[in-house]
């Protein structure tokens, strides 16, 4: 079997299980990287090669734990499902994730970011990302028909985990989207590619827009497009919205994923006293 034949069989199995297009692309690229590293089809490689490759990704390429785990998952799928080989899983353990707290925008920084936009389309993209707490791929693939101004919601199709959901549509976001529609008259896709391909924006194009205006607004934080979603959830928590409603808005399956945002809330916004202060106050009152 050639390297291309291995990849074709992998894609067939991913599609057969109804896994998302993102998962298909991820597994394809990870397995391709594995085969290219050894310049051999995976049928000629075994678990020792997998161990060597994962070690290379960790020690030489210095990939983050989460990234190494995506290669691990793809190779487990390839050998376990596509090749029907029983791997000694204990010999290729997943990395423990060391999740650092991400940088969060202040609302003042977000206003500076929006004000820095010199293009109506770009401003709409950034405002929609933040105001609805969308993922990168979700804002890129929005359709005009996904906007429901009566119910004040956005329909997010085929989101993470191949699930549809509804996201909040803010009044300020709707106002600028109406101005945008009058100026650009988009038909199917809300944000079209400028390459005249008739398709929606690529995720890379959204990233380029984001970083252009972060630089222009002189925001000196290690932020990514996903920081907009983090900021949306954190600001909702700080304003008193309960964690269960935020879970629904973000489209999380597990509440533990949403609870991560509890770590990002500013201590002063909690309005909580340390029990030591309470003891001290009680002692003074009794003294």
- Could you give the residue numbers annotated as active site? 135, 160, 226, 229, 252, 261
**Coil, helix or strand for 254?**
coil
Angle between helices 107-115 and 120-132 (to 10 degrees): 160
Query: Tokens at residue 150, please?
Result: 């009566």
The DSSP 8-state label assigned to residue 200 in this structure reads B
| Distant-in-sequence, close-in-space partners of 78: CB < 8 Å, separation ≥ 6 | 6, 10, 27, 31, 42
Helices (H), the chain: 3-16, 21-38, 47-59, 65-77, 107-115, 120-132, 136-140, 171-184, 203-216, 226-238, 243-250, 255-259, 275-286
How far is the C-alpha of 137 from the C-alpha of 215, rounded, in Å?
22
User: Please, how many CA atoms are within 13 Å of residue 176, restricted to the half-sphere of its CB?
Assistant: 17
């Amino acid at each position: 079997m050639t390297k291309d034949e291995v990849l074709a069989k992998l894609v067939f199995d991913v599609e057969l299980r109804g896994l998302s297009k993102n998962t298909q692309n991820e597994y394809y690229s990870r397995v391709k990287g594995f085969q290219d590293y050894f310049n051999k089809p995976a049928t000629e490689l075994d678990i020792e090669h997998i161990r060597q490759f994962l070690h290379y990704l960790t020690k030489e390429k210095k990939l983050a734990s989460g990234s190494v785990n995506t290669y691990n998952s793809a190779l487990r799928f390839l050998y376990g499902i596509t090749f029907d080989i029983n791997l000694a899983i204990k010999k290729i353990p997943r990395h423990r994730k060391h999740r650092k707290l991400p940088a969060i925008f202040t609302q003042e920084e977000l206003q500076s970011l929006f004000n820095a936009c010199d293009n109506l389309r770009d401003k709409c993209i950034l405002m929609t990302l933040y105001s609805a707490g969308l993922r990168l791929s979700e804002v890129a693939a929005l359709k005009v028909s996904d906007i429901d101004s009566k119910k004040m919601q956005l329909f997010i199709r085929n989101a993470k985990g191949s699930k549809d959901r509804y996201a909040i549509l803010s009044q300020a976001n709707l106002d600028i989207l109406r101005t945008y529609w009058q100026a650009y008259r988009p038909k199917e896709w809300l944000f079209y590619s400028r390459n005249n391909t008739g398709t929606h924006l690529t995720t890379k194009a959204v990233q380029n827009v984001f970083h252009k205006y972060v630089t222009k607004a002189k925001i000196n934080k290690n932020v990514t497009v996903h920081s907009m979603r983090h900021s949306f959830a954190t600001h909702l928590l700080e304003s008193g919205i309960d964690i269960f409603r935020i879970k629904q808005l973000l489209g999380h399956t597990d509440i533990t994923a949403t609870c991560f945002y509890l770590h990002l809330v500013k201590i002063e916004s909690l309005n909580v006293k340390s029990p030591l202060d309470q003891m001290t106050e009680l002692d003074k009152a009794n003294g």
